[in-house]
Structure 1
Amino acid sequence: MTRRDDHGSRGVTLLELVIAVFVLSIGTIAALRSADQAGRALGGEAARVMALQVALNRAEEYRLLGARQAKTLPRSVTFGPYQWQLEITEAVTRAGFTEATILTRAPEQPGARLVVIAQTEVVQ
């Protein structure tokens, strides 16, 4: 009987190990970049929601007080950790209401834009 020496069953070669490490490192880098991108996208979401909430609050003040009184409200609002600046432009509609475009911004943060139709003056 002759003993057969099978060279293919000795284990993993150095070249196979290098290729496996290379493929795993590419996969790890892709996963880390994806997680980083998701973190950046979600990181600005809280500020975007706060900006929209500030705009919604001002829109509700326009509806409750009327455009004439709401115009006298401060144009700077602290909400969360940010100081929001409000830019409001008004136009009178054909029906006699006021259309107010509310833009909220904070330094280095995303903003929000909202349009509201309100009475010019609220009769109480």
Structure 2
Amino acid sequence: MRDRLTSGARGLTLLELAIAILVLAIGSIAALRATDQSRVAIGGETPRLLARIAARNRAEELRLYGPQGGALPDRVTLGGRNVALDTRTETTQSGLVRATVTARAQSGEGAQLTVYLAPGRRP
């Protein structure tokens, strides 16, 4: 009788071990997937950050040179990446000039910034 109890306990222990290994394997796979998603998200942040910097730079250029902006380039290179810039201006009812700067990296990530300028301001 005692032999039957011990052999039954061993089988249950092996089953518990197999379930524990299965749970750990599933947890490891989930952790690896989460790490990979973080890597992809961090890698995509660089072009967005550079696009934001380019948009802020263009807004500062517009503040310096006025709403027309002179002959500012429509493409800039930051951090070894090309960023396309599009600037649209319109005059508001109060007489200010609203300039919307859209910056987009080659990979598609981008940023948009709106700045209000005094009309006809020249350096």
TM-score past 0.5 threshold? yes
| 2:32 aligned residue | 32
- Give the whole-Å Cα distance in 1 for the aligned partners of 2:80 and 2:10: 63
| 2:94 aligned residue | 95
The runs of at least 4 aligned residues of structure 1 exceeding 3 Å deviation read 8-14
Which consecutive unaligned segments of at least 5 residues does structure 1 have? none
Structure with the bigger percentage of helix: 2
| 1:74 aligned residue | 73
| 1:61 aligned residue | 61
Per-residue CA distance 1:58-104 (angstroms, 9 max, x = gap): 00111111112x14211111111211111111101223221111101
SS in 2 for 1:112: strand
Letter in 2 for 1:44: G
TM-score calculated relative to the size of structure 2: 0.84
- Give the whole-Å Cα distance in 2 for the aligned partners of 1:23 and 1:95: 65
The two structures, once aligned, show a CA RMSD in angstroms of 2.1
Aligned length: 120
Letter in 1 for 2:109: P
Which consecutive unaligned segments of at least 5 residues does structure 2 have? none
Aligned identity (percent) is 45
